[in-house]
A and B are shown apart, each in its own frame.
Chain A
Amino acid sequence: MNSEAVPRPIIEARAIGKRFGAFHALRDVSATFHEGQVTAIVGPSGSGKSTFLRTLNRLEAHDSGEIVIDGIVLSDDIKNLNAIRREVGMVFQSFNLFSHLTILRNLTLAPMRVRRMARAAAEEKAMNLLERVGLKTQASKYPVQLSGGQQQRVAIARALAMDPKVLLFDEPTSALDPEMVNEVLAVMRELAYSGITMLVVTHEMGFAREVADRVIFFDEGVILEDTTPESFFSNPGHERAKAFLSQVRHGF
């Protein structure tokens, strides 16, 4: 599913530290992500996995260390930041679709404003993406008229409309009713096989095992395991990982 031959690093995180007051959310986290790689980031809640993901497009500012995205150092420099955010798409746990805009306008807003696309071209692209996630007929509806699963598929299409190099998923199925999880996972699976770089914070162990190239296990702000799904699920190296897996094992 990815070209092992020349893996180009697209995200490099070096010794990232982050505190929320007295709480030490990330302690010197380092990881490199390569183009085309699908990484599942797992771990107990409060372990720092979502915080780590959110530092990668600076929804959280890291306190120490360095993050380089596609050759650009992530900082408060607004020009660099906007350049990075154009290339890094994000899908949120609670969808965060723009509630005052139709589904179509949700998809065309950023391409028109940020990429300066013409409306007709943006709409054509949006319709193609909606077809890809199976929601072409819903284009003129508003987010509130859609189910959670449909909204999350729209949110994925909205992120894709910017042609990002990397897609970050922050627990994309955690807010969904169980019967809607699969429709979202199906879209993500299709994306993973299309070769886009994905970082997925998830509790869906089945998805991680089946689709990911790599599993990162977070605990108390550090990366405890960084390995292949096979080795993580069959032979975890740390006690904490074993305990975590035994607790979530019903997931697959």
Chain B
Amino acid sequence: MNWTRQHPGWAMFAAMIGLLLFLWGMALPLAAAPSPIGPAAEQFADGARITVGLTLIAGSAGVLIGVLAGLGKLSRFWPLRWLCDSYVWLIRGTPLLLQILFVWLALPTIMPEGVELSDFACAAIALSLNVGAYNTECVRAGILAVPHGQVEAARALGLTPLQTFMDVILPQSMRVALPALANNLASLVKDSSLAYAISVVELTMVGYRVQAESYQPIPVFVTIAAIYLILTTAFTTLTAALEAQLDVGQKR
């Protein structure tokens, strides 16, 4: 951890490269493993790629939703505040599995003709909305933690409200919000496994299939668990490095 604090840029880079190498090259060492892992190596690699894809898409969209809804919750315009409050209330109060099923089964019936969503897209939408609701509260807390004097100084210098937000409030609030956002991202890596329920062939689904074919659940699920651990480690290294990067100019 000390090394990532001192060289956050390199740590971030190394985590990204490590993740990519792992995803592309995973099939090679796994193929050398004995049955039932070896023959299914490509399946494991494909599943991991889907899991990472879901996490990256829903994670990015979730941050964007979190920032927008977090701002909305602090808006002086009450209908917007009410909308964002309801969104968080709805998502936090219902199971993620139900949300995924809703997007997959209910959304197509109310979508206009001709628009078709893949299973992957449905999972990505549901996960984005879910993590976005949790991110909303983190972002709101972060924005509230920025001292009002910072805003006054920016406005007194002639910065517009948008410039004040982008240059002063957002970077400072992220410093506060990031540990909580990182927590949500780590949860998301694992929550993405619920996409198996709508037949997205992600990592957990691969494990389920491989053990069903081989009747050997122990080695299969241990392998799946190990891959999840490697993925979460890569993501937490990445967010820790980002945290160190944003931590500059802070009292310790």
Contact residues of A with B, CB < 8 Å? Answer: 57, 59, 78, 82, 85-86, 88-90, 92, 94, 96-102, 109-110, 113-114, 142-145, 155, 158-159, 162
* Cα separation A142 to B149 with both chains bound (whole Å): 17
B159 touches A110 (CB 8 A): yes
A96 touches B171 (CB 8 A): no
Checking A85, A94, A99, A113 against B155 with a beta-carbon cut-off of 8 angstroms, the contacting residue is A85
A96 touches B158 (CB 8 A): no
Number of interface residues of B (CB under 8 A): 23
A85 touches B168 (CB 8 A): no
B249 touches A100 (CB 8 A): yes
B157 touches A110 (CB 8 A): yes
A92 touches B153 (CB 8 A): yes
Chain B residues lying within 8 Å of A98, measured Cβ to Cβ, are 150, 153-154, 167-168, 172
A86 touches B158 (CB 8 A): yes
A144 touches B251 (CB 8 A): yes
Residue of A59, A82, A110 with most chain B CB atoms under a 10 A cut-off: A110
Q: A59-B152, A98-B150, A142-B248 are in contact. List 18 more A-B contacts (CB 8 A).
A: A85-B155, A85-B157, A86-B158, A88-B156, A89-B156, A89-B157, A90-B153, A94-B149, A96-B152, A99-B150, A99-B249, A99-B250, A100-B171, A100-B175, A109-B159, A142-B249, A144-B250, A162-B158
How many residue pairs bridge A and B at CB < 8 Å?
Answer: 72
B171 touches A85 (CB 8 A): no
Chain A residues lying within 8 Å of B168, measured Cβ to Cβ, are 98, 100
Q: Using a CB-CB cutoff of 8 Å, which residues 152-186 of chain B contact chain A?
A: 152-160, 163, 167-168, 171-172, 175
Given contacts A99-B150, A100-B172, A113-B167, contact A90 B156 (CB under 8 A): yes
Chain B residues lying within 8 Å of A57, measured Cβ to Cβ, are 156
Given contacts A110-B159, A142-B249, contact A99 B172 (CB under 8 A): yes
Q: Does B246 contact A (CB under 8 A)?
A: yes
* Cα separation A143 to B251 with both chains bound (whole Å): 10
B153 touches A96 (CB 8 A): yes
* Cα separation A88 to B152 with both chains bound (whole Å): 13
Chain B residues lying within 8 Å of A99, measured Cβ to Cβ, are 150, 172, 249-250
Checking A59, A101, A142 against B156 with a beta-carbon cut-off of 8 angstroms, the contacting residue is A59
Chain A residues lying within 8 Å of B246, measured Cβ to Cβ, are 100
A97 touches B157 (CB 8 A): no
Chain A residues lying within 8 Å of B158, measured Cβ to Cβ, are 82, 85-86, 110, 114, 162
A97 touches B167 (CB 8 A): no
Q: Using a CB-CB cutoff of 8 Å, which residues 112-156 of chain B contact chain A?
A: 147, 149-150, 152-156
* Cα separation A59 to B148 with both chains bound (whole Å): 11
Chain B residues lying within 8 Å of A97, measured Cβ to Cβ, are 153
Q: List 12 A-B contacts (CB under 8 A).
A: A59-B152, A85-B156, A85-B158, A89-B157, A97-B153, A98-B154, A98-B167, A100-B248, A101-B249, A142-B249, A143-B249, A162-B157
Q: What 6 A-B pairs have minimum CB-CB distances, sorted nearest first? A: A142-B249, A96-B153, A110-B157, A96-B149, A90-B156, A86-B158
Shortest distance in angstroms between A165's beta carbon and chain B's nearest beta carbon?
Answer: 12
* Cα separation A94 to B152 with both chains bound (whole Å): 11
Chain A residues lying within 8 Å of B163, measured Cβ to Cβ, are 113-114
Shortest distance in angstroms between A156's beta carbon and chain B's nearest beta carbon?
Answer: 12
Chain A residues lying within 8 Å of B159, measured Cβ to Cβ, are 109-110, 113-114
Residue of B154, B157, B246 with most chain A CB atoms under a 10 A cut-off: B157
Chain A residues lying within 8 Å of B172, measured Cβ to Cβ, are 98-100
Shortest distance in angstroms between B117's beta carbon and chain A's nearest beta carbon?
Answer: 40
* Cα separation A104 to B49 with both chains bound (whole Å): 43
* Cα separation A101 to B175 with both chains bound (whole Å): 13
Chain B residues lying within 8 Å of A142, measured Cβ to Cβ, are 248-249
Chain B residues lying within 8 Å of A86, measured Cβ to Cβ, are 158
